[in-house]
Structure 1
Amino acid sequence: MLSPLAYYAILFAVCAYAFLRGRADERLAAATCIAATFATNIVYNPAGSFSGVEVGVLIVDALALLGFTFIALRTDRFWPLWVAGLQLTTMVAHVLKAIQLDLLPHAYAAAARFWVYPIFLIIVVGTWRSQHRARDEARASTA
């Protein structure tokens, strides 16, 4: 996994782009990522180091799933479904750890953290497409 500094740099870049160039869906997804990051920092127990189920992180991930699902259910765009699906995959990591407590802590941590990067990529692509769609709509209305 990337260093925390690299993660925060990517988070900042993705969310800044979504807030500056995106519409409501992109902004809500970015806000969900920011809120989940800060909440995870509050609830994460470094002493546990993913040796057991990280209950606080599980709760934050469940709330993020609810947020992404809310966005997906209210929009006419397809990309929020992908984001919600990837967040659901993160939840599966927590379930697997609960089922198999001897799951290696590094495997659990990687599975719980990995999917944020594809989520970031999808938010960027969704923002880019939204930006171009808005520009095309503006051109069509002036023509």
Structure 2
Amino acid sequence: MLHSPLAIFGAAFLIFASLMAFIFGTWRERAGAALYLAAYVVANGLNWLSHMQDLSHTITDILCLIGFVILCWKSPHPWPLWAAGFQLASTMTGICGLLNITVSKWAYMTLLILSAYGVLLALLAGTFAAARRKRRQHIGGSE
């Protein structure tokens, strides 16, 4: 699970982005953080328990993608759409791996890692925008 410094950094970044969303975000950012944290825990738990790691990762990716698409529905903010797009890239990468489409392991892992960071950066951008909106409403409402 956390066998390398890069994996530890990724888990720390996931925790940081999720904490920021829970503290400063609205319900939409909190839901996105909870969704992504749950997918991370479930995928790593299934990887540890199962010999079918690629399948379990792809299933959690698909469920996470569905969750981000639901968050996109009638959202006035762009971050869920960006998160869903990055999650779609991760999901399609997993599906290509299951279909044995010839992709080098390096390219496969690079796209999975970049798409995960893309989702987290979209979540952070949405969180900071929500915090800024809250601050503006609070300042504007107190005058």
Q: Same fold (TM over 0.5)?
A: yes
Query: Residue 113 of structure 2 aligns to a residue in which SS?
Result: helix
Please name the residue that 2:17 is paired with: 14
After superposing on structure 2, the runs of 4+ consecutive aligned residues of structure 1 that deviate more than 4 Å are: 45-48
Structure 2: distance between partners of 1:101 and 1:77: 35
Percent identity of paired positions between Structure 1 and Structure 2? 24
1:76 correspondence with 2:76: yes
The residue type paired with residue 118 of structure 1 is G
- Tell me which residue corresponds to 1:86: 86
1:75 CA displacement: 2.3
User: How far does the alpha carbon of each residue in 1:83-121 deviate from its partner, in whole angstroms, 9 at most, with x for none?
Assistant: 001101111212322444432233223222321112111
The whole-number CA distance in structure 2 between the counterparts of 1:89 and 1:62 is 11
Aligned residue among 38, 44, 47 for 2:41: 38
Letter in structure 1 aligned against 2:89: T
What residue in structure 2 maps to residue 5 of structure 1? 8
The Cα shift of 1:47 comes to 9.4
SS in 2 for 1:3: helix
Deviations 1:52-93, CA, capped at 9 Å, x for gaps: 981110000001101111111142211111100110111121
Report the counterpart of residue 95 of structure 2 in structure 1. Answer: 95
> How far apart are residue 24 of structure 1 and its match?
0.4
CA distance in 2, matches of 1:67, 1:43: 19
Q: For the residues of structure 1 that align with 2:136 and 2:96, how far apart are their CA atoms?
A: 45
What TM-score do you get using the length of structure 1 for normalisation?
0.85
Amino acid at match of 2:6: S
Q: Give yes or no for contact 2:36–2:64 (8 Å, CA) kept in 1.
A: yes
How well do the aligned residues superpose, as a CA RMSD in angstroms? 2.4
Structure 1 unpaired stretches of 5+: none
Moved more, 59-68 or 118-127: 118-127
